[in-house]
Amino acid sequence: MSNKVITIAAAIILNEQNQILLVRKKDTDFFMHVGGKLEPNELPEAALSREVLEETGCEMEILSYIGKYETVAANELNHSLVSYLYQVKLKSQPQIQAELAEMQWVDLNHPDLPLTPLTRDISIPWCKQLLGI
């Protein structure tokens, strides 16, 4: 992997239909988690809360810390991505905010969208194992 590293906090958000909430930011091709880059000296949990509010208009509750993962960045050429991944619950209905172009609830068994490596290779398998599907 490249030595250029982007560090983010990302939210796995599931609904009662066992769908995952994914977003596509403006001027990008891939669907990803709600979340974003940590600011200098910002803790991942604080970045996650800030990003979820900025992107969905919702406050959230962290249900669990899933782990820290390194993947290839989907939208930044020659960068690796270090992701702090959390399962969260939104306190209200999400609405497109900030830099988002699209927001979709996606079936875990049929994610027929272009997905980031973190979403495709880590999060969806984790969700399917959690839910036994």
Q: What is the pLDDT of residue 73?
A: 84
Strand, coil or helix: 36: strand
Could you tell me which residues are beta bridge partners of residue 86? 11, 65
What DSSP state is assigned to residue 58?
-
H helix or E strand, kind and range, residue 123:
none
22-63 pLDDT per residue, tens: 999 999 999 999 999 999 999 999 999 999 999 999 999 999
Predicted TM-score (pTM) of this structure: 0.92
Q: What is the pLDDT of residue 77?
A: 75
H helix or E strand, kind and range, residue 46:
helix 44-56
H helix or E strand, kind and range, residue 128:
helix 124-131
Q: Which of 19-23, 46-50, 69-73 has the lowest mean pLDDT?
A: 69-73
Q: What separation in angstroms does the CA of 93 have from each of 10, 20, 87?
A: 18, 14, 16
83-119 pLDDT per residue, tens: 999 999 999 999 999 889 999 999 998 878 999 999 9
Closest by alpha carbon to 21, among 84, 132, 111? 111
Mean pLDDT of the 1-19 span: 89
Closest by alpha carbon to 2, among 67, 84, 76, 85? 76
